[in-house]
Structure 1
């Protein structure tokens, strides 16, 4: 039975032989399926369980408390999205979620600044979970560090300098995290937890609870990605597809709603280049370049090398209510 490969990040930090074996396995996984399990990342199981419990605690808050930090309050796309409030392929997803990014200063709208600068700003935090801010911001920073290590390893796997992506992430890459609850589909007519899609950044790291639901599209159909205790699920994003001219492929994936009498919880972390960066086209060696067929061309989902433009495109399409509230004069252009 087909299953995702398991990579141990401690091998990347190990001696020459283990490091080379990791690079080889990473190159194979990133090229063939675009997904893998990651162990050896240094995040203790107790901390993972703390994040999942905090996720449950947030969604257990009374609805008025969640709506007090609703995403429609924020032009920066941070905060709570109610059930079926986000769209994938134009259809509502059967999930509720809470989004955060880095805490940043607000860029006021200006003719001198690109519209995507409005993505930068503060997060919203629920009043009755005061510990949430410090725990999640530290978690986000630690996952960013893991992602940067993986990005360096991917550069080496593509026979580039380890620093090939450094100029695009500067002191800190773009960070975006979602706490997610998928309710039992028996309560609803739709089983689309999340519709089929690709992620727009460099890399995504997903922490799952004990419930299955994540599926990856392969040549043989949809492959289930069951939880593995202590492991993150990692996938390649569209920016790496662009940078490698399609040698690496961002893979379609989806989440089906849980069928049992329980809900499913997860935490997804997305890492991209800084918003003001332009994704480089890497000079692959000839034998790799011959296998690169160019990034996928989808007229309904154009890819932009300018990172802020690419991120804002996804945000506007996924959250039409926020787009209407804060980007009404611009949303039709994306």
Structure 2
């Protein structure tokens, strides 16, 4: 099968001599420098873990609507829970996403309310439906596996670019704002809107994507056209986020991507894990020895983006927060 992206063997990281591991890290960084996105094979996550995650995800989306709505994201100032179809505006107000989701993050206690730092409300507990108790252990196990793999990849990138595996560790210390989303894309119908997930760049450091066999994920090729990221059995897809793009002075790009609803009538299921910085992380161009340029506050930026894409949550939980003021720091 002809593939649109490079394939990286994760098992080569940390295997053999230190020089071999460094060489492998350099291969990964070089692949990402050209595409911002690669397939990951032999990544070490058990096949059974992935199978269980997809199986329980399908069971969640098969629950009655009332059971899913019992954990609606509208209940959560932490942007977690069930998001109905058309409930998120990733691309903008004119193009609501034609997918439904269930979103979790690390299980943490909510932060004290601070009107001067509303982004801290993103830290908190998950919601779990009473009708499917097995969802919690399976999803949290999957979250832990993806988090560990993401740390491994970030360390490899740091080794390749800076010669130190811990170079970026400060960005994910404390309370990282990781997110794991399972998505269901309903089958297409004649005349359907194919905007499954609107075109966007991820906000964080990197994202890991697990697809079923249906397809629909696309990457922009830099020439105003789209490339299908075909499902590769057993593989994950990693794509980089804007925080890492900024931290590397643009050396590692955050690719624009989207999901189109398959026109074949087949339903699509997928997972996307966002490996994000801690909520107070300050990101700047680490390739600039003078430390000049813009310093971005992750919490401000991500809350502003989420308020824009989830206006129903903005009205309920953040009625006095102006996304524009968050982005300008005012």
Q: Please list every run of 5 or more consecutive structure 1 residues that lacks an aligned counterpart in the other structure.
A: 286-293, 296-302
Deviations 1:219-266 (A, max 9, x none): 352111111111110001000111011111101001010122220000
Q: Label 1:4 to 1:200 Cα distance change in 2 as closer, same or farther (>3 A).
A: same
**Structure-1 residue corresponding to 2:160:** 157
Contact 1:2 1:223 in 2 (8 A): no
1:266 equivalent to 2:257? Answer no
**Equivalenced residues, count:** 320
**Structure-2 residue corresponding to 1:72:** 74
Q: 4+ runs of 1 displaced by more than 6 Å?
A: none
Q: TM-score, normalised by structure 2?
A: 0.91
**Structure-2 residue corresponding to 1:320:** 311
In the aligned structure 1, how far is the partner of 2:280 from the partner of 2:137?
A: 26
Mean CA deviation greater in 16-25 or 204-213: 16-25
What is the RMSD computed on CA atoms of the aligned residues?
Answer: 2.2
Report the Cα offset of residue 313 of structure 1. 1.9
Report the Cα offset of residue 312 of structure 1. 1.0
1:309 equivalent to 2:263? Answer no
**Structure-1 residue corresponding to 2:258:** 254
Residue 50 (structure 2) aligned to one of 39, 48, 51 = 48
In the aligned structure 2, how far is the partner of 1:244 from the partner of 1:332?
A: 26
Contact 1:278 1:306 in 2 (8 A): yes
**Structure-2 residue corresponding to 1:34:** 36
**Structure-1 residue corresponding to 2:320:** 329
Where 1:84 maps in the other structure, the secondary structure is coil
Residue 215 (structure 2) aligned to one of 208, 212, 216 = 212
In the aligned structure 1, how far is the partner of 2:270 from the partner of 2:144?
A: 18
**Structure-1 residue corresponding to 2:237:** 233
Contact 2:102 2:183 in 1 (8 A): yes
Report the Cα offset of residue 106 of structure 1. 1.4
1:116 equivalent to 2:107? Answer no
Report the Cα offset of residue 188 of structure 1. 6.0
Mean CA deviation greater in 154-163 or 263-272: 154-163
Report the Cα offset of residue 272 of structure 1. 1.2
Q: TM-score, normalised by structure 1?
A: 0.90
Q: Please list every run of 5 or more consecutive structure 2 residues that lacks an aligned counterpart in the other structure.
A: none
Report the Cα offset of residue 24 of structure 1. 2.8
Mean CA deviation greater in 245-254 or 276-285: 276-285
**Structure-2 residue corresponding to 1:126:** 129
In the aligned structure 2, how far is the partner of 1:249 from the partner of 1:166?
A: 20
Report the Cα offset of residue 332 of structure 1. 4.3
Report the Cα offset of residue 284 of structure 1. 6.3
In the aligned structure 2, how far is the partner of 1:21 from the partner of 1:258?
A: 39
**Structure-1 residue corresponding to 2:59:** 57
Q: Label 1:304 to 1:204 Cα distance change in 2 as closer, same or farther (>3 A).
A: farther
**Structure-2 residue corresponding to 1:291:** none
**Structure-1 residue corresponding to 2:170:** 167
Report the Cα offset of residue 314 of structure 1. 2.2
Alignment of 1:181-200 (within 5 A): 181-186=184-189, 189-200=192-203
